[in-house]
Structure 1
Amino acid sequence: MPKSWGEFDYVIVGAGSAGCVIANRLSSNPSVSVAILEAGGRDWNPWIHVPVGYFKTMHNPSVDWCYQTEPDKGLNGRRLEWPRGKVLGGSSSLNGLLYVRGQKEDYDGWRQMGNVGWGWDDVLPYFKRAEDQERGEDDFHGVGGPLAVSNMRLSRPICDAWVAAAQNAGYPFNPDYNGASQEGVGYFQLTARKGRRCSTAVGYLHPIKHRKNLQIFTHAQTKRLLIEEGRAAGVVLSHHGSECLVRAKREVILSAGAIGSPQILMYSGIGPGKELAEHGISPVVDQPEVGKNLQDHLQARLVYKCNEPTLNDEVRSLFNQARIGLKYIMFRAGPMTMAASLATGFMRTNDAVATPDIQFHIQPWSADSPGEGVHPFSAFTASVCQLRPESKGEIRIGGPDPLQYPKIYPNYLATGTDQRTIVDGIRIAMRIAEEQPLAGKIASRFRPGPDVASDEDILEWARNTATTIYHPTGTCRMGPDDRAVVDPRLRVRGVRGLRIADCSIMPRIVSGNTNAPAIMIGEKASDMIAEDAAA
C-alpha cells in the first residue's frame, strides 16, 4: 500500500504557471486545505532568478524535463528537444520571460466554439487581476497583482534598427501589443521586477508558503489518479522511489501542462481505450481525445552577420563576462536582465488575413540553441513563427510504466497553409533586412545562405532547421461537446471531482507566447472551483 501523505480539500498536481496561481487563490480561504505536488525541486538554482539564466537552466535535467519529440515527417525526420520546467514555477522558471496575451479574437473564437465564459471580455479581468504592470493601470492592464510585468531594462542598436526598418517596410509601431491591438512592431514586455525573474513561484507561491492550510510537496511525481466510484479521490505519486498517496476530499486539479496532464489521465485509465489496453491499462473512461489536438508554434531562426558589434562580442571574453556580471550584481542592469528577445512584431502575411498570423522575436545575439553559447562572430537573430498553425499532433504514453516519458508527435508543417505561412514569414524577414537603417548594419545573411532563394528552397530550409518556440497546448481540449476532454468549467468528463487547468485545455492555440494565458487560466480556474464549491 502507498504511504499516506494525508488528506486535503484540494490537491493540485503541478506547481507551474497555473498551479501556483490556483494554490495561492484557493488557500486564501482559511477554511479549506490545499496540497500542491511538484515533480521537481525547489527553485533554489540562482540562475532561475536571473532573467538571462535560461541559457543555464534549459536542457539542465535538474530543472528541465528534457523531453524530446519523435522523428517528425514535416521536419524531414528530425527530433526536437522540448524543454519543460521541472521545478517550482514550472516553465515560468525557465522561459524567456516574454509577456504576451494573444489576440482578443483568440478568446472570442473559443467562445464561438461553445466555451461559455471564455470570450475576451470574460478573460481580460483575469489578466488584469494577475498583473502588476510597471506602466500603470488602464483599460487593459492592472496593478497590484502577484505577477510583475515590466519594460525592457536593456536596449541594443541592432534591435532598434530592426524596429525602424520594419516601420520603413510598412509595419506600424505599436507601443503595447497587449493593449487595444496586437498588430505592429515594438518591444517586449517581460515578467520581471527590478532585474529579477517573476515566475509564478516567486509571484504567487513564495509569499504565501507559510499559510497553515497550504502544503507544498516537492520531488513528488504523480503516477496516476486514485479513482473511487467514478470520483477522483486522490493522487498516487513517487517520492524518491517510494509510492505515496495524497487524498482529496473535494477536487484534484491537474496543472501538469500539455504533456504531463494527458499523460497522467492516460495512466489513470482516462484516454483512448484501445491505446491504453495495448499497454495493459484498464480503461476507466474511454476518452479518445486525451493527448490529441496537440498544437505548438514552430520558429524559423534567420541569422544575419553584422558589420558592427552585437551581444555575441560582448559575452565572448572572460573579462567582458565579469564586467557584465558585476553590473548586474551592483545595479540589476545590463545584458543579464535580458529576456529571450528584445524586439517583436505581429504581422499579417497578406491582406486576406484579418489579424496577425506571424510573430517575430528579435535577438541581439545568435546561437545554435540556448545553452550552447553564442556564435564566434557579430550577428543577430530574426526568429519568425506562425501564430495559428493548422497542423495538430498528439501525445501518447510510452509504455506501461507511468514514470516513463511519453511519445510526442508534433506533426509540424502538415498543411498547405502552415507551409505557405512559414515561407511568407521568412520572406518578410528577408524584406525587412533590406530596409534601412538595418541593411547598413548587415554584412551578410548567414542562415539561410544566399543559395536559398525559391519558395521550395525556403520551405526545405525550414524543414531542416526550424524548431519549437516552446508552446505546446491543446492536448486536453475544452469544449461543449461530449468528445472534449473538459467542459467550459474545466471539469473532466466522466470523472467527478477532477479538473484540468493549464495550456492543455486550449481548444486552439493562442496567437502568441503561452505563459500569460496559462496564468490567466489558473486565475479563472480558481474562481470556478470556489464558485462551484459554494453552489
Structure 2
Amino acid sequence: MGLQWRRFFPFALLAFFIFHGFCYSEKAPYNTFVKEATSAPPISYYDYIIVGGGTAGCPLAATLSEDAVVLVLERGGSPYTNPNDLGNFATTLSDTSPTSPSQQFISEDGVFNARARVLGGGSVLNAGFYTRAGENYTKEACWSEDLVKHSYEWVEKKVAFEPPMLQWQSAVRDGLIEVGVLPYNGFTYDHIYGTKVGGTIFDSDGHRHTAADLLEYADPQKITVYLHATVQKILFTTNERPRPKAHCVIFEDASGGTHRACLIKSSVKSEIILSAGAIGSPQLLMLSGIGPANQLQTHGIDVVVEQPLVGQGMSDNPMNALFIPSPQPVEVSLIQVVGITRFDSYIESASGLSFAYSWAQRLSAYYGWFTNQVFSGRQPSMVTPEAMVSALETVQSYINSNGTVRAGVILEKIMGPISTGHLDLLTTNANDNPSVTFNYFQDPQDLKRCVQGMQTIIEVVNSKALSKFRYSDMPVQGLINLMVNVPTNLRPRHVSASISLEQFCTDTVMTIWHYHGGCQVGRVVDNDYKVVGVDALRVVDGSTFLNSPGTNPQATVMMLGRYVGLRILQERKRLPAGKK
C-alpha cells in the first residue's frame, strides 16, 4: 500500500486541493523553549510529559506551565519554517519524507487520509474553519459549561477571526437560505441550526494561526518543547503498587539517538499525558502494553493492562461533494459558511483554491499507472479508464495560469457518524502507520444523512443565488457524472452512482480529516481522561471523542487542551504543600 500511495498521491491531491486548503504560519511566538530533540539530555525529569504537541497538546502544555514544569515531545517540526504561500500546497502534501508535516495513509476502506506531523497538529493542515461544539455536546460530555466558555474564549483571543465574505461564499450562504436551511444566524462561533458564517484561523492578511500560537501563553521558564522527538513507548512501574504507574517515556531524536524523560519522583501528581491524536494515542498505548491482549502478544508486546477497547470506536466523518466550474473568476476561499441542517448533515463550501500549477501538469504522467494498478486486488471498477482521464482533463481545464481554480465546491459531512471501525497494529515501530478501518456508511442512518445532504447541495447548486457561477449548458447531472469519474479514492465505482445518491455517497466518499475515537471516554479513559487500570496516565485529544464536535472539531480540541489543563491545575492546588 505504501508504494501505491507514493505513486498515486497526485490524484489524491486533486481532491484535497479542491476541497481543502493548507498553509503555514509565518512567525514563531517563541524562540527559547522550543528545541531539536537532538539537544535533549539522556534523561530528564518533569511534572508533566505531554506526548504530542498538536491541536490539544499545545494549549494543554501552555496551561500546565502556569504551575508546573512541562515537557512536550512533538514528532514533527516547526510550523513556522515555511512561508504562507499557496503555491506550496502540492509540494508539501506530496512530500513523503520523514520530516513532512503530513503523514499520508490509506484506510482499509480505500480512502486517502493524512495525519499531522508538526507542532500545532491538524490546525496547521486543515481548512481553518473555527466553530464551537453545540450545547448538547457539552452536556453529554459532562463538561462544566462555564469552564468550557472560558476555555473557548482563551483560544479565540489568539487564533480565531471573522472571515471576509466575498462573492462565492456569499452566494453559497444565500443559496442555503433560499433552499430553506434556516434561520440565518449571521456570524457566530456557536453551533446553531440554520445557516451561519463561522470563524476562521486565518487573519485579515491571510496568515494562518494554529494551536502552536497558543504556546505564547506558556511560561518560558517552565516549559520545554522538543521537535522531531518520536516517543517509542511508555514505561510503567509496579513496585509495591496495586496497579501499574506510568513514570517514563522513551523517545528518539532525528538522528536516532535515544532519550528518556521521566516524572519527578517526589511529585505525587506528576503525569504522562498522551495528545498524539486519534491515530497516535491508541497506537502508543498498544505499543506500551495497554490494549487487546491477543493483538499485543502477536507483536511480542508484554501486556501491562489488557484493555480490549483500545483502538475501537474509530470513526471518520465521511465527506461527499460536487465540483462546480464557474464561467467567471471566483475568490480563493476556504470554509467560511455552513448550513447546519435538522437532519444532521453539514453543508460547507470552498472556492478557487490555489495549488501548484506544475503539479497539475504532471497529472497526465500518472494516468496509465492509475488505470492499470489502482484497483489491483480490489473489486473492479465499472468506470472506464477513458472516463477517468476525461474527468481529470475536465477539471484541469478550469485551472488558471496562476494555479487557482475557476470553480468552487459544495460539500457535506454528516454528524456523528454512527458507523465505527477499529485500529490495529501492523508493526511495533512508532513511526509506521497502523491499519485503520472506518467502515464508512456501515450504519444506514449515516447513508440516509449523506443522501439528504447531497439533495440539499443539488438544491443550492440550482438556486438563483448561485446562478451566476453556473454554466447554463452544464446541468447538475453533469456535475454528478464528473465526480463519479474523478478518482478521488481507491474504492470501486459503479455505473449506478450517477443515478443513485446512495451509491454516489458510497463510491465517492472522501475524508474531511475529522476522524476520532480509539481511546474513548467511558471505555478507555474515565471522565477525567485518566486511562483506566493504570496511574499517572491520561489521554487528551480527539481519540477520546464518541462523536465529532460541531461541524468542525478543531475549536473544541483546542478548548479541551485548555479545559483539562485547568482541571489538572485545580487538582494540584487542592494538594497539601510539598505534595505537588
Q: Does 1:260 align with 2:275?
A: no
| Structure 1 residue 308, shift from structure 2 partner | 2.2
Unaligned runs of 5+ in 1: 73-78, 112-117, 133-146, 312-334, 350-356
Partner deviation per Cα, 1:110-167 (whole Å, 9 max, x = no partner): 33xxxxxx264552232123222xxxxxxxxxxxxxx3211113x4323222221221
CA contact (8 A) 2:321 2:412 kept: yes
How many positions carry a matched residue from both structures?
A: 464
Q: Aligned in 2, Cα 1:532/1:207: closer, same or farther, shift over 3 Å?
A: closer
Residue 192 of structure 1: aligned partner: 202
Structure 2: which amino acid aligns with 1:22? Answer: L
Residue 160 of structure 2: SS of its match in structure 1?
strand
Q: Trace 1:448-487 onto structure 2 (pairs within 5 A).
A: 448-449=480-481, 457-479=500-522, 484-487=523-526
Partner deviation per Cα, 1:315-348 (whole Å, 9 max, x = no partner): xxxxxxxxxxxxxxxxxxxx4xx4x323321112
| Structure 1 residue 421, shift from structure 2 partner | 1.0
Structure 2: which amino acid aligns with 1:447? Answer: L
What TM-score does the superposition give when structure 2 sets the normalisation length? 0.75
Tell me which moved more, 273-282 or 369-378: 369-378
Residue 265 of structure 1: SS of its match in structure 2?
helix
Q: Trace 1:139-150 onto structure 2 (pairs within 5 A).
A: 147-150=158-161
Q: Aligned in 2, Cα 1:259/1:411: closer, same or farther, shift over 3 Å?
A: same
Residue 348 of structure 2: aligned partner: 361
Partner deviation per Cα, 1:402-439 (whole Å, 9 max, x = no partner): 33221111111101101111111101110122221213
Residue 438 of structure 1: SS of its match in structure 2?
helix
Q: Does 1:376 align with 2:389?
A: no
Residues in 2 aligned to 1:366 and 1:92: alpha-carbon distance in whole angstroms: 18
Structure 2: which amino acid aligns with 1:382? Answer: I
Q: Does 1:110 align with 2:141?
A: yes
CA contact (8 A) 2:235 2:249 kept: yes
Residue 436 of structure 1: aligned partner: 464
CA contact (8 A) 2:50 2:72 kept: yes
Residue 437 of structure 1: SS of its match in structure 2?
helix
Residue 280 of structure 1: aligned partner: 300
Residue 345 of structure 1: aligned partner: 339
Residue 8 of structure 1: aligned partner: 46
Q: Aligned in 2, Cα 1:193/1:367: closer, same or farther, shift over 3 Å?
A: closer
CA contact (8 A) 2:108 2:436 kept: no
| Structure 1 residue 513, shift from structure 2 partner | 0.9
Alignment equivalent of 1:67, drawn from 73, 80, 104: 104
Q: Aligned in 2, Cα 1:464/1:366: closer, same or farther, shift over 3 Å?
A: farther
| Structure 1 residue 514, shift from structure 2 partner | 1.1
Q: Does 1:237 align with 2:280?
A: no
Residues in 2 aligned to 1:187 and 1:375: alpha-carbon distance in whole angstroms: 30
Residues in 2 aligned to 1:433 and 1:289: alpha-carbon distance in whole angstroms: 43
Residues in 1 aligned to 2:292 and 2:572: alpha-carbon distance in whole angstroms: 30
Residue 302 of structure 1: aligned partner: 322
Residue 301 of structure 1: SS of its match in structure 2?
strand
Alignment equivalent of 2:130, drawn from 95, 99, 106: 99
| Structure 1 residue 399, shift from structure 2 partner | 1.9
CA contact (8 A) 1:272 1:290 kept: yes
Residue 328 of structure 1: aligned partner: none
Alignment equivalent of 2:225, drawn from 216, 220, 237: 216
CA RMSD, Structure 1 to Structure 2 (Å) = 2.7
Residues in 2 aligned to 1:372 and 1:421: alpha-carbon distance in whole angstroms: 35
Residues in 1 aligned to 2:410 and 2:295: alpha-carbon distance in whole angstroms: 41
Residues in 1 aligned to 2:306 and 2:358: alpha-carbon distance in whole angstroms: 41
Report % sequence identity: 25
Alignment equivalent of 1:38, drawn from 67, 74, 79: 74
Residues in 1 aligned to 2:307 and 2:444: alpha-carbon distance in whole angstroms: 30
CA contact (8 A) 2:46 2:71 kept: yes
Residues in 1 aligned to 2:530 and 2:65: alpha-carbon distance in whole angstroms: 20
Residues in 2 aligned to 1:248 and 1:212: alpha-carbon distance in whole angstroms: 18
Q: Trace 1:308-319 onto structure 2 (pairs within 5 A).
A: 308-311=328-331
CA contact (8 A) 2:63 2:218 kept: no
Residue 252 of structure 1: SS of its match in structure 2?
strand
Residue 150 of structure 1: SS of its match in structure 2?
coil
Residues in 1 aligned to 2:293 and 2:336: alpha-carbon distance in whole angstroms: 46
| Structure 1 residue 456, shift from structure 2 partner | 6.5
Residues in 1 aligned to 2:423 and 2:515: alpha-carbon distance in whole angstroms: 10
What TM-score does the superposition give when structure 1 sets the normalisation length? 0.81
Q: Does 1:82 align with 2:110?
A: no
Residue 354 of structure 1: aligned partner: none
| Structure 1 residue 485, shift from structure 2 partner | 0.8
Q: Does 1:293 align with 2:318?
A: no
Q: Does 1:174 align with 2:185?
A: yes
Residues in 1 aligned to 2:149 and 2:410: alpha-carbon distance in whole angstroms: 30
Q: Aligned in 2, Cα 1:304/1:43: closer, same or farther, shift over 3 Å?
A: closer
Residues in 2 aligned to 1:433 and 1:215: alpha-carbon distance in whole angstroms: 50
| Structure 1 residue 486, shift from structure 2 partner | 0.8
Partner deviation per Cα, 1:184-212 (whole Å, 9 max, x = no partner): 2233311133422111112x225647x22
Residues in 1 aligned to 2:135 and 2:413: alpha-carbon distance in whole angstroms: 19
Residues in 1 aligned to 2:507 and 2:258: alpha-carbon distance in whole angstroms: 43
Q: Aligned in 2, Cα 1:348/1:453: closer, same or farther, shift over 3 Å?
A: farther
Q: Does 1:151 align with 2:183?
A: no
Structure 2: which amino acid aligns with 1:128? Answer: E
Q: Aligned in 2, Cα 1:369/1:421: closer, same or farther, shift over 3 Å?
A: farther
Structure 2: which amino acid aligns with 1:364? Answer: S
| Structure 1 residue 177, shift from structure 2 partner | 4.4
Residue 48 of structure 2: SS of its match in structure 1?
strand
